[in-house]
């Protein structure tokens, strides 16, 4: 009889030394109060039309359309793109996985610019890619380095990923810099536009101008469908014939999620009001945080803020916030240069006020006034 320990030898050798993506964890708070500002979710419920679409499908026992034709057609209309170039998935991570299945072989290179979304490194590593990092510049600009990205290309490079606006820094890279990379490299360039609706900027035109551009988006953020998991992408025309070989059945999207996404697109006017309200709250939080001694909230084109605290390690403050029922993200990996930072997404005005009150009280308790004043002067 084979023992359990022996079974571990069956695990792919490439997995044994891999680290998985570590999302923020929001355990139950001792206070019983839970304010979730850690996963960049929308504080609003799905739109009225999306809610009705969900209700209408509650009694359904049928599979969705195998190719998710109606969903992809709605997304194509939203993107003003040919439907055959649109791929959907169970969240944007799933679309990235489809892209990896399409182009990545062991030993291929994927270039990223950290600090950025952690899923890129873990997901493409699992497909055998070597991840090369061309770091962003330091604060406060967190600038993209187009020349260094272009110089990093080798004959093994299959993909460059640019997250714009970038997560977790929140900044929007100039369009000219992205254009420079796209037109200068012989590989695919995937532009992650998860927060495009908040930034008011899209790279959609680049996908028509150049044959090597992939545009990636999600319905999780602006459409309040994080729990329904609908991501999508616009793929270069040359790759379209190969998509059926790697796209999972039903695009891994449930009938309910597809219906909610279609209805959300039809209800975009209502969602625009939500976007405007989130941006207004983001700017209010930005002003309040920057009014605190030694605190630096960086400008953001997203639904979240990266905040540098007047401490060497933001961990204890994040832990204390969690004990008070307020959950945010922190970045303990020293290679990212964000140990003293937290990331907080925009919640409801009431949730945001709770966060602002708690972080101010914690800083006043943990850092003496004279030290806060000195930190503020240095900032």
Judgement on whether residues 29 and 52 belong to the same structural domain of the protein: no
Residue 204 lies in a domain: yes
Residue 19 pLDDT: 65
Residues 141 and 29 in one domain: no
Among 225, 250, 266, residue at a domain's last position: 266
How many domains in the chain?
A: 2
**What is the residue range of 201's domain?**
48-266
351: domain CATH number is 3.90.1150.10
Pair 34, 154 in one domain? no
**pLDDT category of residue 366 using cuts at 50, 70 and 90:** confident
Question: In which band, very low, low, confident or very high, does the pLDDT at 370 lie, cut at 50, 70 and 90?
Answer: very low
Q: Is residue 56 domain-shared with residue 107, that is, in the same domain? A: yes
Chain center to CA of 81? 23
Residues 189 and 227 in one domain: yes
Model confidence pLDDT, tens digit, residues 85-122: 999 999 999 999 999 999 999 999 999 999 999 999 99
From 266, 299, 331, give the residue that closes a domain.
266
Share of the chain above pLDDT 70, in %: 89
Kindly state whether residue 10 falls inside one of the protein's structural domains.
no
Q: Does position 1 have pLDDT exceeding 60, yes or no? A: no
Considering the domain boundaries, does residue 18 fall inside one? Answer: no
286 & 250 share domain: no
In a domain, 5, yes or no: no
One domain, residues 87 and 188 = yes
Q: Same domain, yes or no, for 240 and 323?
A: no
User: Is 13 part of any domain?
Assistant: no
pLDDT, tens digit, 9 for 90 and up, residues 17-35: 666 656 665 555 556 789 9
Over residues 330-348, the pLDDT tens digits come to 999 999 999 999 999 999 9
Q: Which of these ranges, 25-34, 139-148, 204-213, 230-239, has the smallest mean pLDDT? A: 25-34
Which tens digit of pLDDT belongs to each residue from 221-251? 999 999 999 999 999 999 999 999 999 999 9
Report the pLDDT averaged over residues 258-265. 98
Q: What is the pTM of this model?
A: 0.91
Domain-embedded: residue 109 = yes
Closest by Cα among 28, 71, 34, 86 to 225: 71
The pLDDT of 262-278, averaged and rounded, is: 97
Same domain, 243 and 274: no
Average pLDDT rounded to a whole number, residues 74-82: 97
Residue 124: count other Cβ atoms within 10 Å of its Cβ. Answer: 25
Distances (CA, A) of 10 to 2, 3, 4, 6, 145: 12, 12, 11, 8, 42
Examine the pLDDT at 372 and tell me if it is beyond 50. no
Task: Provide CB contacts within 8 A for 362, sequence distance 6+.
Answer: 317, 320, 321, 324
Predicted confidence band at 7 (pLDDT cuts at 50, 70, 90)?
low
**Same domain membership, residue 94 and residue 35:** no
pLDDT tens, position by position, 351-363: 999 999 999 999 9
Q: Are residues 55 and 96 in the same domain?
A: yes
Domain for residue 368, yes or no?
Answer: yes
What is the rounded average pLDDT for all residues in the chain?
92
Residues 303, 280, single domain; the answer is yes
| Residue 376 confidence (pLDDT) | 42
Domain final residue pick, 214, 249, 266: 266
pLDDT of res. 373: 42
Q: Determine, yes or no, domain membership for 131.
A: yes
How do residues 149-203 score in pLDDT, each as one tens digit?
999 999 999 999 999 999 999 999 999 999 999 999 999 999 999 999 999 999 9
Is the model's pLDDT at 253 over the cut of 70?
Answer: yes
Residue 243 belongs to domain with CATH number: 3.40.640.10
As a whole number, mean pLDDT of residues 282-290 equals 98
Q: Give the other-Cβ count within 10 Å of 27's Cβ.
A: 8
């Amino acid at each position: 009889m084979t023992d359990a320990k022996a079974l571990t030898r069956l695990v792919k050798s490439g997995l044994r030394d891999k680290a998985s993506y570590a999302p923020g964890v929001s355990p139950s708070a001792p206070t019983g109060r839970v304010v979730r500002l850690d996963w960049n979710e929308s504080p609003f419920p799905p739109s009225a039309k999306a809610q009705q679409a969900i209700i209408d499908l509650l009694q359904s026992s049928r599979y969705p359309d195998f190719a998710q034709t109606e969903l992809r057609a709605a997304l194509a209309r939203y993107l003003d793109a040919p439907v055959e170039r649109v791929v959907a998935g169970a969240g944007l991570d799933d679309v990235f996985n489809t892209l990896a299945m399409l182009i990545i072989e062991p030993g291929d290179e994927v270039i990223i610019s950290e600090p950025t979304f952690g899923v890129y490194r873990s997901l493409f590593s699992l497909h055998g890619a070597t991840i090369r990092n061309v770091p962003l510049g330091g604060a406060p600009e967190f600038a993209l380095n187009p020349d260094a990205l272009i110089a990093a290309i080798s004959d093994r490079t299959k993909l460059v990923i640019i997250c714009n606006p970038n997560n977790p820094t929140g900044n929007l890279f100039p369009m000219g810099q992205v254009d420079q990379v796209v037109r200068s490299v012989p590989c695919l360039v995937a532009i992650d536009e998860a927060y495009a609706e908040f930034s008011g900027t899209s790279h959609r035109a680049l996908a028509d101008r150049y044959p090597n551009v992939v545009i990636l988006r999600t319905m999780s953020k602006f459409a309040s469908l994080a729990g329904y998991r609908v991501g999508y992408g616009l793929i270069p025309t040359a790759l379209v014939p190969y998509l059926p070989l790697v796209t999972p059945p039903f695009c891994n999207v449930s009938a309910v999620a597809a219906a909610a996404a279609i209805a959300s697109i039809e209800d975009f006017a209502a969602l625009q009001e939500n976007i405007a309200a989130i941006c207004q709250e983001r700017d209010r939080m930005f002003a309040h945080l920057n009014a605190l001694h030694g605190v630096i909230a960086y400008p953001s084109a997203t639904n979240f803020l990266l905040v540098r605290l007047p401490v060497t390690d933001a961990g204890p403050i994040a832990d204390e916030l969690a004990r008070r029922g307020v959950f945010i993200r922190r970045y303990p990996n020293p290679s990212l240069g964000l140990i003293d930072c937290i990331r907080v997404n925009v919640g409801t005005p009431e949730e945001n006020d709770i966060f602002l009150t708690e972080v101010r009280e914690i800083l006043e308790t943990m850092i003496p006034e004279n030290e806060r004043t000195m930190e503020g002067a240095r900032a």
